[in-house]
Amino acid sequence: MVEERRVPQREELVRRASELVPLLREKAAWTEENRRLPEETIEAMADAGLFRMRVPARYGGYESDARTMVDVAAELARGDGSAAWVASVWWIPTWMAGLFPDEVQDEVFSTPDVRVCGTLSPSATAVPRGDGIVVNGRWGFISGALHSHWQEIIAMAATPDGGQEPVMALVPMEELTVVDDWHTSGLRGTGSVTTVAEDVFVPKERVLPLGAVLHEQYASKQNADSPMYRAPLLPVASATSVGAMVGLAKAAQEAFFQRMPERGITYTAYSSQREAPITHLQTADAALKADEAQFHARRLAAMVDEKGESGEPWTLQERVLARACLGAAGRRAKEAVNILSSASGGSSVYSTVPMQRISRDIQAVSLHALMHPDTNYELYGRILCGLEPNTLYI
């Protein structure tokens, strides 16, 4: 009799992520300086099973739920925001690979601990050729590309009526050119470089219409009954990426309280910052905002998980609420970090003090097109006011 494979549950995966925090903090300076994750970090996350969390079970994956993704990413971000962001970005296209025909998945998931990077931006063109398409173009902000095996791409393809439609495709990384242009103020360690396709042929089985994907018309038969795949792309992406911001708010708290007892407030009578009433107000405000960020993140994850379990269709209101929860979590997390960063004083600008990196990282995440609070709030407000959405990305 074959012994059933044990799948680690949320508590164990969160514990494994927490155990990586000391390593991530130790490597954070190297990560920033070299603008990429070190091999030790990649190997440690692989050993912890973090790259299997969104892999279908039949390939040895865990099919972890959205709440687990939030909590694991939050732990990783306590150690290093760049590591948490790259892990989160890998989880999304890995899940997307499970939308393709099953024979395509056989190819992608034949690589142990496969890493798939990707984007939702249609910054390339595709033309039909033979039994597939030929793609030309470039994609920016491809986090984790330097350590990936595949990239999920979006390109604009011609339609029979003379129009264009976006398509989603999977391409091996060796068929793309990497442009090392990631010189940034925040999330420096993510290696979010630009990738380029020059006459790259993609067979038709590795191409899906993006419009169909956004309407939950997936090509996989074997994944159809899995709760993990009974959800729209955008709520899944939102729930998968939000944990990094929650974790950065926690990281700011830990960094602040570590320095606080021995740090005075210059040009005042306070030899210890912990004695000043302003510090009490600041830390309370930041802690409550961090709690609010976690609330919105877990609310989003719960919605994705519950709808996946029940199989009930998503309403328009729920789809835009998912984006709104992402925006709310990000806004509160950034506010929490900003309070503590401001309260950390001039000495916190030194590169050896983690607070300055945490502050820059959360600023960079907040500017991401999917994460930006104002964009998400405006979309939610349109629906609340009875208007139609002005985007396909819901």
User: Using one digit for the tens of pLDDT, what is the confidence trace for 96-142?
Assistant: 999 999 999 999 999 999 999 999 999 999 999 999 999 999 999 99
Q: In the chain, what percentage of residues exceed pLDDT 70?
A: 99
* Pick from 319, 361, 99, 294: nearest CA to 213: 99
What residue spans define the domains of the chain? 10-114, 116-208, 230-384
What beta strand segments (E) does the chain contain? 116-118, 124-129, 132-142, 150-158, 164-172, 177-179, 193-203, 207-209
Q: Which fold has domain 116-208?
A: Butyryl-CoA Dehydrogenase, subunit A; domain 2 (2.40.110)
What's residue 41's pLDDT? 98
What's residue 166's pLDDT? 97
What's residue 159's pLDDT? 86
- For strands 177-179 and 193-203, give the pairing: antiparallel
d(CA 76, CA 20): 7
C-alpha dihedral (41, 80, 121, 118), degrees to nearest 10: 20
Looking at the predicted structure, is the pLDDT value of residue 172 above 50?
A: yes
**For all residues of the chain together, what is the average pLDDT?**
96
168 DSSP β-pair partners? 154, 208
d(CA 290, CA 75): 14
Is pTM beyond 0.85? Reply is: yes
Looking at the predicted structure, is the pLDDT value of residue 316 above 50?
A: yes
d(CA 169, CA 154): 6
In sequence order, what are the residues at sequence separation of 6 or more whose Cβ sits closer than 8 angstroms to the Cβ of residue 137?
Answer: 123, 124, 125, 155, 196, 197
d(CA 261, CA 265): 11
Q: Count CB-CB contacts under 10 A for residue 254.
A: 14
What pLDDT band is residue 3 in, cutting at 50, 70 and 90? very low
In sequence order, what are the residues at sequence separation of 6 or more whose Cβ sits closer than 8 angstroms to the Cβ of residue 29?
Answer: 351, 352
Q: Domain spanning 10-114 has what CATH number?
A: 1.10.540.10
137 DSSP β-pair partners? 124, 197
What's residue 174's pLDDT? 98
What digits encode the pLDDT tens for the residues 323-379?
Answer: 999 999 999 999 999 999 999 999 999 999 999 999 999 999 999 999 999 999 999
What pLDDT band is residue 1 in, cutting at 50, 70 and 90? very low
Question: Could you tell me if 322 and 234 are in contact, meaning their C-beta atoms sit under 8 angstroms apart?
Answer: yes
CA atoms within 13 A on the CB side of 78: 17
What's residue 2's pLDDT? 34
Over residues 249-254, the mean pLDDT reads 98
What's residue 160's pLDDT? 82
CATH superfamily of 230-384: Butyryl-CoA Dehydrogenase, subunit A, domain 3 (1.20.140.10)
What's residue 4's pLDDT? 54
What digits encode the pLDDT tens for the residues 271-297?
Answer: 999 999 999 999 999 999 999 999 999
In sequence order, what are the residues at sequence separation of 6 or more whose Cβ sits closer than 8 angstroms to the Cβ of residue 51?
Answer: 45, 90, 94, 113, 114, 115
Q: In the chain, what percentage of residues exceed pLDDT 90?
A: 96
What digits encode the pLDDT tens for the residues 70-85?
Answer: 999 999 999 999 999 9
The DSSP letter of residue 5 is P
d(CA 374, CA 367): 10
d(CA 335, CA 359): 10
What digits encode the pLDDT tens for the residues 186-214?
Answer: 999 999 999 999 999 999 999 999 999 99
What's residue 332's pLDDT? 98
Over residues 219-223, the mean pLDDT reads 97
Looking at the predicted structure, is the pLDDT value of residue 241 above 90?
A: yes
Q: Count CB-CB contacts under 10 A for residue 42.
A: 20
What's residue 116's pLDDT? 98
